[in-house]
């Protein structure tokens, strides 16, 4: 359905899946992509980040692209 650009249909079909199947990572990713393509960016982001904590201060840039002055 994603390849056919049937995003709304895919989301409606996904609602019919069991809760167990809806928790499968691949299904979540497909749903997030469909939400993104239908303009529901916030919902797509929620699905991708669900259950994950993000701390931007914990990120470390790879040395080959980190051009900040280092001590």
pLDDT tens-digit readout, 11-46:
999 999 999 999 999 999 999 999 999 999 999 999
Q: Which of 58, 62, 52, 60 is nearest to 28 (CA)?
A: 52
- Identify which has the larger pLDDT, 55 or 2: 55
pLDDT at 1: 65
Would you say residue 20 lies in a domain? yes
Instruction: Supply the range of the domain harboring residue 37.
Output: 1-51
pLDDT at 49: 87
Would you say residue 71 lies in a domain? no
Count up the domains in the chain and report the number. Answer: 1
> For residue 10, what are its two tokens?
């895919």
pTM: 0.67
Would you say residue 25 lies in a domain? yes
- Vertex 54 angle, CA 71 and 33, to 5°: 125
What's the whole-number mean pLDDT along residues 44-63? 82
What is the spatial distance between Cα 64 and Cα 57, in angstroms, rounded to a whole number? 19
């Amino acid at each position: 359905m994603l390849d056919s650009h049937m995003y709304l249909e895919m989301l409606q079909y996904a609602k019919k899946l069991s809760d167990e199947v809806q928790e499968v990572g691949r299904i979540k990713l497909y749903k997030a992509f469909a939400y993104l393509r239908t303009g529901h960016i916030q919902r797509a982001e929620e699905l991708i980040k669900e259950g994950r904590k993000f701390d931007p201060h914990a990120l470390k840039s790879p040395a080959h692209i980190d051009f900040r002055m280092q001590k």
